[in-house]
Amino acid sequence: MLRKYHVVAIPIRIVLNTFGDHNPNGMMYVLKENEEKVKQSVKENPFMPVPLVQPLIIRANEGDAVEILLENKLPFHAGLHFQQAEYDVRTADGANVGLNEESTVPPGESYQYRINVVKEGIYFFSDLGNPASSENGSNGNGLFGALFVERRFSWWTDPETGKPMNSGVFADIHHPILPSFREYAWVFHDEMEVDDLTGNRPIHHLTNQEESSFHGANYRFEPINRRQQLIAEGVVCPNCEGEEVHHDSWVYGDPSTPILRGYVGDPAKVRVVHGGVKETHVFHYHVHQWLSDPDDLESEIIDAQSISPQTHYTVEPLYGLGSLQGSFGDSIIHCHLYPHFAAGMWGLNRVFNTLQDGSQCYPNGVPIKPLHPLPDREAPPKPTFEKPGFPNFIPGKVGYKAPRPPLGIVGGRGLTELERHAAIENPRPGAVFTDPSPESAPVREFNISLIELPITYNKQGWHDPKGRIYVLDEDLEDICAGRKEPEPLVIHTPAHTSFRINYTNRLPHILDGDAFQLVTRAYETGFHIHFVKFDVLVNDGANVGWNYDSSVLPGETIQYCYYAEVELKAWFFHDHLYPNAHQQHGVFGSGVVHPRFTEFLDSRTGEPVVHGTQITSKNPLIPDYRDFALFVQDFTLLFDKNGKPLQPPKFPSSDDDPGLFGVNYKNEPLQFRLGKDCDPAYTFSSYQNGDPVTPILRAYEGDSIRIRLLQGSQEESHSFNVHGLRWHKERGSLNSSLKEQQHIGISESFTMETYIERAGDYLWAFETEEDLWNGLWGLIRAYDEKVPDLISLTDRPEPLKRSKPLPEYTGDKPPQAEDPTVHPVEGPVRYFDVVAFQTKLMYNDFGDHDPHGIMVALKEDQEAIVNGTKKPEPLIIRANVGDTVEVTLTSELEMEKFPFPDGIYPYPVVKEQAYYPPSLRISLHPQLIQYDVKTSAGETVGFNGDQTVGPGEKRTYRWVVDTQVGACGLWDMADIRNHKSQGAFGAFIAEPRGTEYVDPYTLQPVSSGANVVLRNPFLPDIREFVVILHDGVRLYDKQGQVIFDPVDGILIPPPEIDEDLLDTYDQGSRGINYRSERLINRYRKHPKLHELFNSNVFGDPATPVFECYAGDPVTIRLVTPAERRRAHSFHLHGHRWRFDTKDIESRTEAFVGFHVAGAVKNLELLGGAGAYGKFPGDYLYRSGNIRWDIEQGMWGIMRVHDKPIAELPPLEQ
């Protein structure tokens, strides 16, 4: 079927909330039929949000062809670039790339795009005519939208009127066979320009400083600052502080942000889209859970999910709205990054239990809009005087804080008559209106308190004087007396457990002020839970919408009640009343739901336990395992031993990245581990520095382990890496890919299930440079023989009696690691002789360069690289499954070729800069393939021997390719501060058995390179393109001046750059394979934004241009070895791939998110080059971060030829 849409790109004033905050320079796509209506409404309502001002959402069905006529009324070339779709890239790309025709639209003109939509899902679209990241750009001002593609034969209606609709963020989707469902568009976006009513940047009413940047959804935001002002001005809730009522509709009425409405049990899909330009957000949705891949029943069940710019996913809440227990009321949806939450990035999912036909009102008199029941479901009962339905039975008072729930608070009130009519048959504390627990479930009771106490994070005395943590009441005295070390509370239960939590708020009424924070009256707290089943009205541990406020005052106790119905892994808990004020002080923990019938033992004594971050689990049916929990923290507000604040913000209560980092209330900064020789190469050595104070996860060789990975605070992305142990991406699926790295945002929860094959010390680390520098690392220690304080697993052979003493701290350099090659090997061996040396790296033809580059290259290539006859590229080597790989590494590093031999690296910086001189030693650490960590991990860690090499030395590593893991990162671990950002990384690719690798142009065998043809007797010839994304690069321009990216690369920058926008981890230039095509260079030469990707104007970019023929099988290996914490997304125009190449049920997408240190991905292009349509042309591959990646050069071209060219032999098929 052919569908046609006439879309207009218009400038529009976007009013973002009822306080009049607005973007005067907004831009949007709108259907032609609504253009005049929307303009007129905005004219009539200059300070109120206009419903039609929303991101354009249009719909089609699978298999449709869609024609979109774009009329451009903006003052620059604009376009429509669609992800996911199949189209002729030469004419319908919505960009002007390489040698393609122009497909952006000049001002005042129109252009028709035709795309084919193959599969159900989200087809995000945005503008590429103006890729500027500043306020002069298009994407940051709202020029994005989405085409939602439904199952074949679907149709859609307006949820309010029941009539057919052509566009809109909310729709009811119907199908002749499948159930109808509610469809909600939730479009995150960030960094939009915001002015207040006076036309100036909004000012925070407490700090009198400019508000932080915009974070919202669907062109709306509801910031705490605005709502709190109404308290300060005495308009509402005179006794309230602010944060505890930020989401309270009793106080303020409903927010301007999206309210997703439905009835209990309605099937629903939330189409979550990131239309923004910069941040990776975390979508969290109270009460509900969903599969991480909706069509894959073996994928993980989650309730919080990160999302990078220009990526998307569909959330299908399991059991429909209200989840299994049928909970009705308001479930908040928000970005879990607290500064974003406070900035206004939240909305509500309102689940009604009575019919809404337009005749009812909310308690504040605002009419409730009608909501058509889904046609294939029984309509909910009509409201009656006795049973008015949510929210009208709740005894609240408009303008004041929501009431406390009935029954829950010890010594509190009972039910009113209306509440009794609405309640379940036998209401009890925590389960008044919905009963989540089956009668058969055993009840476990926990007495938990929230307390304040000082916490010391490391041996150097860095401490948080106002640590705030959850504790079991029985441990209260021991922890306060210092007899037990504070750690995040982790409680353990088997699945099929009913929880009863008696939660006592033992905090002082006031969180005191200091260099980091203003005094806050954080007088009430709660215990908000993820994953488990509960009654949202009374048990959310929060204060949301028209619900009750389920928190308690100091000294009070509240009873909560939940149910864990299956093995849900680790559920996160935290306070939802004052998280911005105090979660970063330690207010978080977890409950781990284990398989049924599991017993929990103290790993030292074997005694039963109910809590702990390291325990042993014993189960009668499945193998016993060690259970470990790690919580990463940022915004950790620490003082040194002399009371000096560490990394305070510019003013108290600024959210501009205050403080440092922690893991389980500890850190082990690298600056304190230099040793007497001041050589970074031994930083991680326990011989030289002793063990770190951070968790050492202890087990015996052969033990099964589960690592529960969580993030407790507060705003940033982190990248968890384990060196030498890997796990399946989906725990329940042996078909899923193996991983060694996981991106995490706050509130996400991951379980890494694996086992330790060999004894040794394994490094775990949050491995972006600044995290690692500031101490986010530790060890997994697997013992070969018995140790006295670690019980063995009951189903494993008893460890042998200790025959040799355990290694100990010596204060000296570690001993040399054993040579792995002394042991005989069977099967084929591949040898690589590689050398690390310094050389100038030219990043582009405009003269941007790194004069201090560090390369690892094949020895045979070194001379050609140095004399300029071979272009430098990162070392990319390959081997096949079944191969043993022996890599012999030589160091030729010279101190005088380092930029900062004095030991302070001034830019790009990390927090807590300190003396850390360059190491002349170097190493090569591989991901995912097998090796003995004691000899071949390419790092010197714990009590393993030295595996680095000094000048003139050689060392051979032995690695085994046991399975086809594809792309693996390779990087140096001898000096993470002075080596990696200069280029000391590469990639290793594990190929199928029997594969040969040839040069695509000469067809001669090659042993390295980013662009090869793979030849395998059982497979078609495949073109393999390796893309190494990296950042934190220190470049100089052709005049020899340091380039301070991202600032120096911003197109049409504002007169004054707001330095607060620049986080430490944004610093540095971006690269792809030691190249960067910075748009600013092109713009200076030819200042036309829409032509910046055009090869006719500029020639091809310096970044790789990968050539192929239409239909060629293509695999892209994506590797991200270095190094900053800002997550990148990746998009290749016009193509899709399976998210997980190994999993046939995996979703197919056109993007990859979360590319941050250690991330890898294999992209097997569906349909080959040019996709199923085999369209030739130039396809842009690029980051999805408009701010600040594309401008800074993170893009290139895949060129698909339609006719043979002399230089590129066609593949043999």
Partner 1 sequence: MGQSYNDKKEEGIVHYFRKNMGRRVFILTKAFPFMFIGKIKSIVEDMVVLDVETTSIPSLEGKEWTVHIHSIEVFYIETGLGAKIPHLKDS
Give me the residues that bind partner 1 (CB under 8 A), please.
Answer: 438, 440-442, 494, 496-497, 566, 596-597, 599, 620-621
CA 757 – CA 752 distance, rounded (Å): 15
Query: What's the token pair of residue 341?
Result: 């939450």
Min. distance of Cβ 620 from partner 1 in angstroms? 4
Min. distance of Cβ 299 from partner 1 in angstroms? 16
Using the minimum distance from each CB to partner 1, give the nearer residue, 437 or 458: 437
CA 690 – CA 942 distance, rounded (Å): 8
Min. distance of Cβ 533 from partner 1 in angstroms? 13
The amino acid that residue 89 corresponds to is: V
Min. distance of Cβ 565 from partner 1 in angstroms? 8
Using the minimum distance from each CB to partner 1, give the nearer residue, 394 or 561: 561
Q: How many CB atoms lie within 10 A of CB 388?
A: 16
The amino acid that residue 291 corresponds to is: L
Using the minimum distance from each CB to partner 1, give the nearer residue, 566 or 866: 566
Q: Give the H or E element holding residue 936.
A: helix 933-936
The amino acid that residue 1205 corresponds to is: I
Min. distance of Cβ 598 from partner 1 in angstroms? 9
Q: Return the closest-CA partner of residue 1076 out of 1126, 1027, 1124, 1040.
A: 1027
Using the minimum distance from each CB to partner 1, give the nearer residue, 460 or 619: 619
CA 685 – CA 1015 distance, rounded (Å): 43
Using the minimum distance from each CB to partner 1, give the nearer residue, 600 or 1036: 600
What does the chain come to in residues?
1213
Q: Give the H or E element holding residue 342.
A: helix 338-343
**Burial environment of residue 36 by CB neighbours within 10 A (0 to 12, 13 to 18, 19 or more):** exposed
Contact 220, 16 (CB under 8 A): yes
Using the minimum distance from each CB to partner 1, give the nearer residue, 443 or 800: 443
Which letter does DSSP use for residue 145 in this model? Answer: E
Using the minimum distance from each CB to partner 1, give the nearer residue, 496 or 958: 496
Contact 920, 894 (CB under 8 A): yes
Q: Are strands 625-636 and 614-618 parallel, antiparallel or unpaired?
A: antiparallel
Using the minimum distance from each CB to partner 1, give the nearer residue, 596 or 1088: 596
Query: What's the token pair of residue 575?
Result: 């306070």
Question: What string of DSSP letters covers 664-696?
Answer: TTB---GGG--TTTT-GGGTTBHHHH---SS-E
Using the minimum distance from each CB to partner 1, give the nearer residue, 354 or 616: 616
Min. distance of Cβ 1094 from partner 1 in angstroms? 55
Using the minimum distance from each CB to partner 1, give the nearer residue, 324 or 1105: 324
Q: Is the alpha carbon torsion for 605, 607, 611, 616 positive or negative?
A: positive
Min. distance of Cβ 734 from partner 1 in angstroms? 13
Q: How far is CA 250 from CA 261, 366, 383, 970, in A?
A: 18, 12, 20, 55
Using the minimum distance from each CB to partner 1, give the nearer residue, 83 or 751: 751
Q: How many CB atoms lie within 10 A of CB 806?
A: 10
Min. distance of Cβ 619 from partner 1 in angstroms? 10
Which letter does DSSP use for residue 1186 in this model? Answer: I
Using the minimum distance from each CB to partner 1, give the nearer residue, 493 or 1115: 493
3-state secondary structure of 346: strand
Provide the Cα torsion 564, 568, 569, 571; round to 10°: -60
Using the minimum distance from each CB to partner 1, give the nearer residue, 524 or 567: 567
Contact 131, 104 (CB under 8 A): no
Min. distance of Cβ 438 from partner 1 in angstroms? 7
Q: How many CB atoms lie within 10 A of CB 909?
A: 14
686: left (phi over 0), alpha (psi -120 to 50) or beta: alpha
CA 325 – CA 33 distance, rounded (Å): 43
Min. distance of Cβ 625 from partner 1 in angstroms? 18
Using the minimum distance from each CB to partner 1, give the nearer residue, 77 or 496: 496
Using the minimum distance from each CB to partner 1, give the nearer residue, 134 or 736: 736
Using the minimum distance from each CB to partner 1, give the nearer residue, 493 or 927: 493
Min. distance of Cβ 556 from partner 1 in angstroms? 31
Query: What's the token pair of residue 247?
Result: 């989401």
Contact 460, 640 (CB under 8 A): yes
Min. distance of Cβ 124 from partner 1 in angstroms? 35
Min. distance of Cβ 496 from partner 1 in angstroms? 4
Min. distance of Cβ 324 from partner 1 in angstroms? 11
Min. distance of Cβ 495 from partner 1 in angstroms? 8
Which letter does DSSP use for residue 78 in this model? Answer: B
Min. distance of Cβ 564 from partner 1 in angstroms? 11
Q: How many CB atoms lie within 10 A of CB 448?
A: 21
Using the minimum distance from each CB to partner 1, give the nearer residue, 2 or 621: 621
CA 158 – CA 965 distance, rounded (Å): 47
Query: What's the token pair of residue 805?
Result: 């003493």
CA 950 – CA 396 distance, rounded (Å): 72
- Phi, psi angles (nearest 5°) of residue 475: -95, -5
Min. distance of Cβ 752 from partner 1 in angstroms? 22
Q: How far is CA 979 from CA 841, 852, 956, 1044, in A?
A: 14, 10, 20, 19
Q: Return the closest-CA partner of residue 1000 out of 1101, 1113, 1100, 887.
A: 1113
Using the minimum distance from each CB to partner 1, give the nearer residue, 785 or 1145: 1145
3-state secondary structure of 844: coil
Q: Are strands 588-594 and 614-618 parallel, antiparallel or unpaired?
A: unpaired
Min. distance of Cβ 567 from partner 1 in angstroms? 9
